[in-house]
Every structure is written in structure tokens, then in C-alpha cells.
Amino acid sequence: MSLLKDKVVVVTAAAGTGIGSAAARRCLEEGARVVVSDHHERRLAETRDRLAEAHGDRVFAVPCDVTDEAAVRRLVEAAVDHCGRLDVMINNAGLGGTASVLEMADDEWARVLDVTLTGTLRCTRAALRQMVAQGGGGAVVNNASVLGWRAQAGQAHYAAAKAGVMALTRCAALDVAAHGIRVNAVAPSLAMHPFLAKVTSDELLARLAAQEAFGRPAEPWEVANVMVFLASDLASYLTGEVISVSSQQA
């Protein structure tokens, strides 16, 4: 439907076959020019090549570690140098894991929050500064989680980080509303992709899927569709919102 025609979109953690790469593909399908980013350079190059088969030079890759402030600044600068501006930032980078608070080490807690929450702050801040410098307008879409609302054993660090992403989204939205910039988030419950299957037991995945109203996980593209909506002008009056992409109650 050309919802993002001629928009410049940056997507973090876009390598592989998860939500990030699905978001990049959907943005390209909607007419955007897309800068894909990830700290896994080989997988990022493979993702860029795969997307370029269908979308040519409208996709561009820039490696970035969201825990590195200088790298985040370089990502935004590279996007602007290559495409002329920045219209949409999709913050998909996050790090999970499973650990009881009884055994969780400080560095384990800090690593999850640094990638998932502070990484989202770094990218949001860099994108918003660029959008303001351009004269305003634009959108930031953050990837949160239903765990920001509800409890799950072994997920204290991840849930705390995602709850922080939700709060960051709401507050940042008010900080930049006067500039015509929107900041929103999605909160998926369970989206199936190969990386999740590697780090989660089949038993847990089956149990989580059974809790969904449709009896199955979401596909990454189903989450990406909501990201595209929030990035587009169809969501022109939405800011500071967190939309649950889930078939279960939070």
C-alpha cells in the first residue's frame, strides 16, 4: 500500500530471520529505503544481500553494537549520509536469557539491561536528535514485550528491561511531541523464529504457545505489520502508546 513510500528507515538487530529482518522486509515492501543494522556483521551482510535480491539498492547495511554510543551515532550518521535524512527508527535490538534472581549475577543483569533498555535509549536519542535537526517529524518504534506487564519465572532482567522500554517510550514521546515526532512501541507475546528456538526449550515454547488464543506463536511478519503501521502516517495521532501484539491478555 506504499505506506512508507520514500521514507528512510533504520532497523536495529535486523540480521537473521527474526522480527528485525521481517520489519526491514515489510518496510521495503511499503516503499521505504531501509538501513539494516546488527552487530553480527556476517549475518547482517547475508540479510542485506537477501533483501537486495527483491529490493535492489533501497537496502543498505551498517554494522552497529547498540551498547557502543559512538557506534550508534555512526549508524545514524551513515544513514543520513547515504539516504539524506532519517524518518523512522525501529529499535529491535534486545537480549534475553533465563535466570532466577537467586542465581542471577550482577553482570548478567547489567548485560541484558545494557542491550535491551540502554541500547534502545541510545538509538532513540540519536534518532530524535537527527529528526529535530531536520526540522521535526518522524517516528520511533520500539520493540517491548508483554513481559513488561506480566510476570514470568526466570525473566526478571528481561522483564525489567522491557518495562523500562515502555516507560522510555511514553516519556520520550512527550519530550518530542512539540517537534511532531511520534514514539510508540509494540509488545509481542511470543514470536517464533530460529534463534528463539535455539535458546528456549521445546517444552517451554509449547506451554507458551498453548496460552495464546490461537494456540500458536506469532510469525515475525505479524509483529512487523504493526511496526509498519506505527511508523506510517496511518498512526498520525498515536504517540506514547504500547500496542500488545498478542492473542492473550497481558
What residues act catalytically? 158
Q: Where are the alpha helices (DSSP H) in 56-181?
A: 69-83, 106-113, 119-133, 156-176
DSSP-derived letter for residue 114 is: I
Residue 104 corresponds to which cell in the numbers above?
542471577
What separation in angstroms does the CA of 169 have from each of 1, 18, 63, 103, 221?
Answer: 27, 22, 24, 30, 22
In Å, how far are 28, 122, 128, 176 from 70, measured between CA atoms? 27, 10, 16, 23
Q: Is the dihedral of CA 220, 94, 60, 130 positive or negative?
A: positive
- Is 231 in contact with 141 (CB distance < 8 Å)? yes
DSSP 65-94: -TT-HHHHHHHHHHHHHHHS---EEEE---
The amino acid at 92: N
- Identity of residue 77: E
